[in-house]
A and B are shown apart, each in its own frame.
Chain A
């Protein structure tokens, strides 16, 4: 593992994927060692906005990092105004990320909902590559279930094609089946040994509960979820972004784990849902 570091990244380009979703390509050495599920902190140029914006890594390729984020306020609006050649200060790579070893030889189900879709791209691509290589590190199967609000808010829809089977779900049925990602998993009767999920908290709760429900004495379905919370430092110093855990956390010694260090990816069994 490389160390966390602060760098100034150069913007290669930025595109709109939907009305409020942006794709930012940065030229940064952080691309060399980012793992799927990790995130970076981007700092605003406007000093009145003090806190970094934590954004999950969507992909990395040849010294570039792709970030897909939603414009939700003045800070992300500032990021959205970045153009090719501009620079942005950032700290990375943060958090633990998904551990691909948990996928070796397994039937893998990747679940992304809304803004939880981007980090699942890098994870799915990595798992697909492991599959192509074959051998003991290859996942047995790879299925991806992607949930969106509706057709208009869909982005990265075709990006996962070729990695494995892709199933869509949307609130209004305008893309894929009408319903939640868990409705789609049930309807398609997708079998799995391990689930990786990122998305809104109610979705993660439902996915975790599905994994528990489908687990039997013979087959325990492992479920790993990526959580988010309002953060200040992003490196584990301020204790702003904690999640309730079922057991006392090794670092905090209370039932709170830091999302930015112990997470953002957690074994769903560790979370006090």
Chain B
């Protein structure tokens, strides 16, 4: 705050007052953290994944800590689009009135389910849609759409045809070549891509000889995956013309700036919030200090500006 630097960034024609946003699934729908921090400072709020009907999610334990990271296998539990619109939307509308862009994360087991949610959001005060084709923790749909370039392109096209808001496709890092998937999303008409979702992992309790997670596998997040995110954001950003939203283990302003230099137009923060509820606000402060220190007048100058 208080710097002369321009921190706005634009994604698919939507301008965010700063590039910092919550990562889907780590921030509920904003209400819970609003009790602890000033969420109106965020550039955007990305909701928990919303499906057509209520989803139960996986069994417990759903969480395991790992060195500089964590595994989760929530399984996209959510109350469904009807409850979302009725109960969460009024709160999100108020947050949006205060200058925070609202991005709704959409999940489904089938193309029809994605489209059902997208249709229900047509009249909602939502700035962008993020389509989750990358959750490693649900059995059908989700990640299957995100790992096959043909399917990804088709899902993207179907979503784009119906969506009233610009569409961000959220990609999984659990692929051999992220550039192929990034190009498929672009070919399908995506307005932007976001990456990386979590890396599939597993943890075993050696004493009990049992899996730590009920789902056996879970998604690895946290600082441990940050270098993987930087590499993949770099590769994806150089493979497509559409904007990239970078995420994966960001816990400091430096981490966020690294993703921007690699090619991200905006940055999402997830697991860091569990360690420090105000992490996003501190990260924003640290980014602004960097801009001041380097005499940068427009943060978008940094996007993809890594040299050598």
Residues of A in contact with B (beta carbons under 8 Å apart): 3-6, 43, 47-52, 75, 89, 91, 229-233, 235-243, 248, 251-256, 261
Contacts and interface: CB of A to CB of B under 8 A. Distances in A.
A230 B28 contact: no
A253 B26 contact: no
A230 B64 contact: yes
Given A6-B36, A51-B65, A229-B60, A43 B275 contact: yes
Interface of B: 25-28, 32-33, 35-36, 48, 54-57, 60-65, 67-70, 72, 74, 77-80, 83, 222-223, 251, 271-278
- Considering residues B28, B48, B60, B222, which has the most beta carbons from chain A within 10 angstroms of its beta carbon? B60
Interface residues of chain B: helix, strand, loop or mixed (majority): loop
Which 8 A-B residue pairings sit nearest by Cβ, starting from the closest? A237-B28, A253-B79, A240-B63, A237-B32, A230-B63, A50-B275, A254-B56, A253-B54
B85 to A, nearest CB: 13
B278 A48 contact: no
A237 B274 CA distance: 10
Given A241-B60, A254-B77, A51 B275 contact: yes
11 contacts: A6-B278, A48-B67, A48-B68, A51-B63, A232-B72, A236-B32, A238-B274, A242-B60, A248-B54, A254-B77, A255-B56
B79 A232 contact: no
A255 B59 CA distance: 11
Contacts of B61: 229-230
Contacts of A230: 60-64
Given A50-B68, A238-B25, A238-B26, A6 B277 contact: yes
Interface residues of chain A: helix, strand, loop or mixed (majority): loop
Nearest to B84: A253
A237 B60 contact: no
A233 B276 CA distance: 9
Contacts of B80: 253
A9 to B, nearest CB: 15
Contacts of A89: 276
B77 to A, nearest CB: 5
A237 B276 contact: no
Contacts of A240: 62-63, 72, 74
A3 B35 contact: yes
Contacts of B68: 47-48, 50
Contacts of A47: 68, 223, 251, 275
Given A50-B70, A240-B72, A235 B35 contact: yes
Contacts of A50: 65, 68-70, 222-223, 271-272, 274-275
- Considering residues B32, B35, B74, B79, which has the most beta carbons from chain A within 10 angstroms of its beta carbon? B32
B57 A237 contact: no
A234 B245 CA distance: 27
B56 A256 contact: yes
Contacts of B28: 236-238
B43 to A, nearest CB: 19
B66 to A, nearest CB: 9
A142 to B, nearest CB: 33
A232 B26 CA distance: 9
Contacts of A4: 35-36
A48 B72 CA distance: 17
Nearest to A231: B63
Contacts of A252: 54, 77-79
A201 B154 CA distance: 47
B36 A5 contact: yes
Contacts of B277: 6, 91, 235
A47 B274 CA distance: 12
B274 A233 contact: yes
